């Protein structure tokens, strides 16, 4: 079982011999159903994601705003300290449904899952695409600029402009695709349906 300062699952705690009475203690917070963390242990969104990770369904990964926070990508002020975690699961599995969770689905044939700080998270390019139903075009451009400009978090870019444009090309029928196509480097990517 994890140290008491870390998030842990109720199931693991019971298996290690902790009593239900201890698990109901006011010294423990319940960020999600079936998880516990020492009271006050969640200080930011990274902590919230780590707390959810102990009960995360198999194959799931953080997406959207949660993924952007974990990658350290720039977000508008209103999204910098989200109180809900966004989690995506490969289709046809059902998206996660729980208090404090925004569940989504992704095509496992097209989406790449990476890790950040030991947590499963959509790749930088897929994170950008997953933000398309949440952010404005201007904010999507700011996120993309951070992704393609080295050194953002390493000596090389997290993804290239060509990768982002290719991603848009391959996902013309998904929610938010029209907004992605409005980003400057995607101007040549056209919807197959001119009415869209």
123 near 113, Cβ under 8 Å? yes
Residue predicted with more confidence, 168 or 92: 92
Which residue carries 């953002």 as its tokens?
Answer: 152
Is the pLDDT at 181 greater than 50, yes or no?
A: yes
Mean per-residue pLDDT, 123-129: 94
Tens of pLDDT, residues 65-75:
999 999 999 99
> Which pLDDT band, with edges at 50, 70 and 90, does 185 fall under?
low
pLDDT of residue 40: 87
pLDDT of residue 167: 86
Q: Cα–chain-centroid distance for residue 107?
A: 15
To the nearest whole number, what is the mean pLDDT of the chain?
Answer: 85
> Which pLDDT band, with edges at 50, 70 and 90, does 169 fall under?
confident
Q: In the chain, pLDDT over 70 holds for what percent of residues?
A: 89
Tens of pLDDT, residues 46-98:
999 999 999 998 899 999 999 999 999 999 998 877 889 999 999 999 999 98
> Which pLDDT band, with edges at 50, 70 and 90, does 160 fall under?
confident
> Which pLDDT band, with edges at 50, 70 and 90, does 184 fall under?
confident
Cα angle 135, 136, 138 (rounded to 5 degrees) comes to 120
Paired with 8 in beta bridges are 36
Domain segments of the chain as ranges: 1-42, 56-186
SS3 166: helix
Mean per-residue pLDDT, 120-142: 93
pTM of the predicted protein model: 0.85
56 near 33, Cβ under 8 Å? no
Which residue carries 């870390």 as its tokens?
Answer: 6
């Amino acid at each position: 079982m994890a140290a008491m300062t870390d998030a842990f699952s109720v199931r693991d705690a019971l298996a290690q011999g902790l009593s239900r009475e201890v698990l109901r203690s006011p010294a423990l917070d319940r960020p999600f159903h079936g998880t516990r963390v020492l009271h006050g242990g969640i200080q930011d969104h990274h902590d919230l994601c780590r707390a959810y990770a102990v009960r995360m369904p198999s194959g799931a990964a953080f997406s959207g705003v949660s993924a952007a926070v974990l990658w350290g990508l720039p977000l508008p002020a209103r999204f910098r300290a989200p109180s809900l975690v966004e989690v995506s699961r490969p289709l046809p599995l059902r998206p996660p449904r729980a208090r404090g969770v925004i569940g989504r689905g992704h095509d496992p044939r097209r989406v790449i899952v990476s890790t950040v700080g030991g947590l499963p998270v959509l790749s930088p390019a897929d994170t950008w695409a997953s933000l398309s139903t949440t952010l404005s075009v201007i904010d999507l451009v700011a996120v993309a600029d951070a992704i393609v400009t080295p050194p953002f978090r390493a000596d090389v870019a997290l993804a290239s402009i060509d990768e982002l444009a290719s991603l848009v090309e391959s996902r013309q029928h998904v929610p938010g695709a029209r907004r992605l196509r409005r980003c400057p480097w995607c101007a040549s990517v056209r919807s197959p349906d001119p009415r869209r």
